[in-house]
Amino acid sequence: MFNFNARIVVKVGTSTLAYSNGKTNLRHMEELVRVLADLHNSGVQVALVSSGAIGVGIGKLGLAVRPGDTPGRQAASAVGQCELMFIYDKMFGEYGHTVGQLLITKNDVDDAERRDNLVNAFEKLFAYGAIPIINENDSVAVDEIVYGDNDNLSAQVARLIGADMLIILTDRDGLYDADPALHPAAKRIPVVEEITEDIVRLAGGAGSQLGTGGMTTKIQAARLAGEAGICTAVINGSRPRDIYHVLEGQDVGTIFKAVKK
């Protein structure tokens, strides 16, 4: 059984939160919120790094494709972020939980003073019993100050708050020993003891239409978290209840072990 005093970061990607047309996947969101609300009830401190601002904004604005220009993405994220938080607030509210939104840019983590402020805000939210929901501040983030993907951002958050584990939800069952789209016999890798060059190579390829990422950024995130002694699980976001199974130590997804000190 898992440690009820644990602090975890859960990262959810656009491919889990939205259909490919940008409309919100309420089924996934409902299941995810229920699991996180229940974990919070059990005493686990949860921070949720949620993508989807741009993807959901595209859906809400009725755009045919992801905007190719920065202002277009800024505008889409401004719309989509509102919508996302509205839904999270409503869904977590149904279970009696309070959420707080933190929109972060790379500067907020790189600059020591801003980082301290950020950590203080996190700690106060936890002390108040609220659930922090984090995204990159896409409506103001321009090229020089972006992470660009929430996988790396989620690893930074895990480090900032000293999480016990980072759990990344994605649209596949974990890391495979070959691309399952091309090789039907490809096998899931249950545990990665060390992120070697071979592992990095396996992760090649891009993400979905609406989001960014893909496996490469998940490996980067696992490395970043692992260096800080935090292990990372990559699991399928279509089954949010697998978060329980990961915490119970069952064989699900791919677990990237933390670097041994």
Binding mask 29-68 for ligand GLU (x = CB under 6 A): ----------------------xxxxx-------------
Stretch that binds ligand GLU, among 26-34, 114-122, 132-140, 168-176 (CB under 6 A): 132-140
Give CA–CA dist 149/147, Å, rounded: 5
135 lies in the site for ligand GLU, by CB under 6 A: yes
Stretch that binds ligand GLU, among 107-115, 162-170, 210-218, 224-232 (CB under 6 A): 210-218
136 φ/ψ angles, rounded to the nearest 5 degrees: -70, 145
| The two three-digit tokens of residue 92, written as one number | 């977590």
Q: Is 62 left (phi over 0), alpha (psi -120 to 50) or beta?
A: left
The answer to whether 214 contacts ligand GLU (rule: CB under 6 A) is no
When the beta carbons of 210 and 230 are compared against ligand GLU, the nearer one is 210
Compare residues 25 and 77 and give the one whose CB is closer to ligand GLU.
77
Give the one residue of 16, 74, 150, 156 binding ligand GLU; rule: CB under 6 A: 150
Taking each helix axis from N to C end, the angle separating 150-160 and 215-227, rounded to the nearest 10 degrees, works out to: 10
Alpha carbon distance 114, 133 (integer Å): 18
Is residue 59 within 8 Å of 21, Cβ to Cβ?
A: yes
Q: Which residues bind ligand GLU (CB under 6 A)?
A: 13-14, 51-55, 77, 135-136, 138, 149-150, 211-213
